[in-house]
Amino acid sequence: MSVKMTRYKHADFADDDSVGSVQLTEGISSSATHIRYHTGSSMWKKRSMLEKALLVLVGTLLFVVMVLAFLLSSADRRIREAKLVNHKPTTIPDELSMMPCLNKSCIHIANGILESMDPAVDPCEDFYSYACDGWIRANPIPEGKSTWNSFLKLEQKNQQIIKHVLEQPLDDLKSKAEQKAKLYYESCLDLNDTVENLGAKPMLELLKNIGGWNITDSGFNVNRWSLQNTLQIIQNQYNIGGLFSYAVGEDDKNSTRHVLQVDQSGLTLPTREHYLNKTEHEKILNAYLDYMTKVGELLGGDPNSTRDQMSGVIEFETKLANITIPNELRRDEETLYNLLSVAELQDRAGFINWQLFFDNAMRIVNKKISSKDDVVVYAPEYLSNLTLLIEEYNKTAEGKIVLNNYLVWQTVRTFTGCLSKAFRDAYKGLRKAMMGSESGEEAQWRYCVSDTTNVLGFAVGAIFVREVFHGDSKVHAETMINDVRTAFKRNFKNLDWMDKETRKAAEIKADAISDMIGYPDFIQDPKLLDERYAILEVRNDTYFENNINLNKYTLRKNLEKINQPVKKTTWSMSPSTVNAYYTPTKNQMVFPAGILQSPFYDPSFPSSLNFGGMGVVVGHELTHGFDDQGREFDKDGNLHQWWNNKTIEKFKARTKCVARQYSKYQLNGKNLNGNQTLGENIADNGGLKAAFHAYMDHMKGKPDPQMLPGLSLNHKQLFFVAFAQVWCTAVTKESASLQIEKDPHSPGRYRVIGSLTNLREFSDEFKCKPGSPMNPKGKCEVW
């Protein structure tokens, strides 16, 4: 089977495998995923049906006898052990009452758990290795990927479903929106080699439209150039970021309205440290310069001149990195929020005329912004320093050329993935340096399903929901959410650091958290679905233009929200996504249909596994409403202080414990950043605890469930195994380092170990001695 190389289109250089945004790679043939059984003789074919049936029956009886013999032997051994250790012998009748479940479902489930485990590891020494080492050995990272885990495997399963429908005849699809998804998918596949035949032509035309690039022969004239005009073209026509970002979003302090928001932005590489720590990141910086140079050459630039000018762009980005505030210092939402008028913003950051800039943007939607209108500025210090930096470069023609080169580069890198293979291959070296993997041999259809989902997520969601999502899953998820919420709230009374008034307000907020499960209702109505994408133009032979249209469409849809009330039921994630999220300004959790599947949830699973998987996901999102950032928003999603001052001080002391704990963890000799990952770590810890207690409540008054065959674990222990196995991950060294530097989530290993070592109930269930690695004496507890 022939494959095409992966395209990297929206080149923000985020790892395409990262768990938090959504992932996706190469298909594995059935021969690689299923064990083949050989008869060893052709005599089987010659037997009659009766003979075959008798042989199968005898074989089954022999298997049952062997299992019973094993169980009795195991019971006798445990009785002897009990006499030696506990001096309290266990009776044979008790053992027989714990006969394992031997139906097909239980055997299948047990087999999956056992294959992922490494029973040779002591669970009290390293529970992640105990639960996951078998999985990691059996799941090497596929070619072209830098990370491999349960999220990615499930994502690939979802891709197969979507592909099947997108390849049906156009008239068989249920709406115009779904037809647009099919057309976009076909343009990405480039079945007629249109993209290859066009080569650099679409980009060269775009360069002329945005005023030219000094690196190429595209009409750039420094004497006619202005920063104002170029920013308005790039940001307000093509929706490309650079220097700063702006959007229309929910006002943090009045979550019923939309408001303009401005923040720091402009770095191409993932973090400021990639520019400032040149010794550690020399390999990446060199690969970045090579990538920029190759792209410039492909667009007609002279090799030496292109390299020199791109070096100037990196030098400018390094200066931007120097004034960019690190993310770990941007976690206090109250401090970040600065409400200014457009006129006040002009006084603070005069490097452009903001009134003209916003007027230019709002013409797209026939709206106006006055000098008195509000803008929420999240990085006033950055914008002030940016003004000084721009003034320095604007003094000379050479400086203006650098500024234009930088802004045009932001545009070029965004769309290079929509060009021919030569442009896509140019990125391979940088990807290898950053993530330890080149673009690999990912089947083109997989990339295109993922790309189509990113572009027309709700049209694809309609397809996915229709094919696989069942209403029962939605009902069961709702019940689980209520169970976890109840357990989470009940724990408030055990938190002696909370005063009564704050505790009562927290209970009210927890009750007020709304949830959306599966999908938004509008996707099942073809008329409403078509209306959403009515202005998006898509053809099956214009991949580059489709993406230009997409950027313009996305900008228009965002700007339309200005002065409009907030709809609390708006989704921000495609229904097929294997993920979930919490929005503080809506005080809302969302669980797409994509994650309501095995290994997170399955109707055939015992409750222990469903609570250990999906239950912890629910608890995680619920706890985000009370992490170091979420707790600053009240029940209505408004940012203000609604906690008692002394309670806030005690809360912060506890979060410092968590930050210190995770900062001590190392991966490949590199320490995690406990401040950067603080919110996610709080959510992991609180979510695990709430889900476990919800499971215990769920089982009250019910008989102990049968054990799973081959596993000497009770279901409370299986809860923790299920939780851990969700995070089994194989990852390259480079990708792990990148995650530590930029991801707000801890690596999978420490999402498991960090949460479990803080939970006394885990140590009790696995009888971990105090002071053992998984039961340290010093524990951190927030929720």
- Classify residue 685: in a domain, yes or no: no
Q: Is residue 319 part of a domain?
A: yes
pLDDT of amino acid 439: 58
Out of 419, 440, 460, a domain closes at 419
d(CA 15, CA 449): 17
Predicted local distance difference test score (pLDDT) of residue 698:
95
* Distance set, CA 524 to CA 101, 149, 529 (Å): 40, 31, 8
**Of residues 184, 200, 189, the one with CA closest to residue 4:** 189
Which positions ≥6 away from 589 have C-beta within 8 Å?
A: 481, 513, 514, 515, 516, 580, 581, 582, 618, 621, 622
Is 250 assigned a catalytic role? Answer: no
DSSP 30-71: HHHHS-----SSTHHHHS-HHHHHHHHHHHHHHHHHHHHHHH
621 a catalytic residue: yes
Q: Is 567 exposed, middle or buried (0-12, 13-18, 19+ CB in 10 A)?
A: exposed
Domain boundary among 386, 419, 452: 419
Q: Burial letters for 631-644: b for 16+ Cβ neighbours within 10 Å, e otherwise?
A: bbbbbebbbeebbb
Q: Which residue has the tokens 């391979």?
A: 428
Q: How far apart are CA 257 and CA 305, in angstroms?
A: 49
Question: Does any domain span residue 162?
Answer: no
Pull the structure tokens for residue 22. 């959504």
Boundaries of domain holding 48: 43-93
Whether residue 453 lies inside any domain: the answer is: no
Residue carrying the six token digits 């027989």: 96
- Among 741, 717, 454, smallest CA distance to 609 is for 717
**230-to-48, 197, 202, 209 alpha-carbon distances in Å:** 81, 30, 19, 11
- The predicted pLDDT at position 18 comes to 28
305 belongs to a structural domain: yes
| pLDDT at residue number 643 | 96
pLDDT at residue 274, as a whole number: 95
Kindly state whether residue 782 falls inside one of the protein's structural domains. Answer: no
107: in domain:
no
Residue where a domain stops, chosen among 372, 388, 419: 419
Active-site choice (621, 628, 734, 741): 621
Beginning with the edge strand found earlier in the chain, give each strand of the sheet holding 374-377 in spatial order.
Answer: 244-251, 254-264, 374-377, 338-341
What stretches in the chain show pLDDT beneath 70? 1-98, 438-442
H-only helix segments in 299-440: 303-323, 333-336, 342-348, 354-362, 380-393, 397-415, 421-426, 428-435
Matching residue, tokens 């190759």? 294
Query: Does residue 350 belong to any structural domain of this protein?
Result: yes
Neighbours of 225 (CB within 10 A): 17
Among residues 186, 684, 734, 741, the one annotated as catalytic is 684
Question: Domain with 390 in it: what CATH number?
Answer: 1.10.1380.10
Question: How many independent structural domains does the chain possess?
Answer: 2
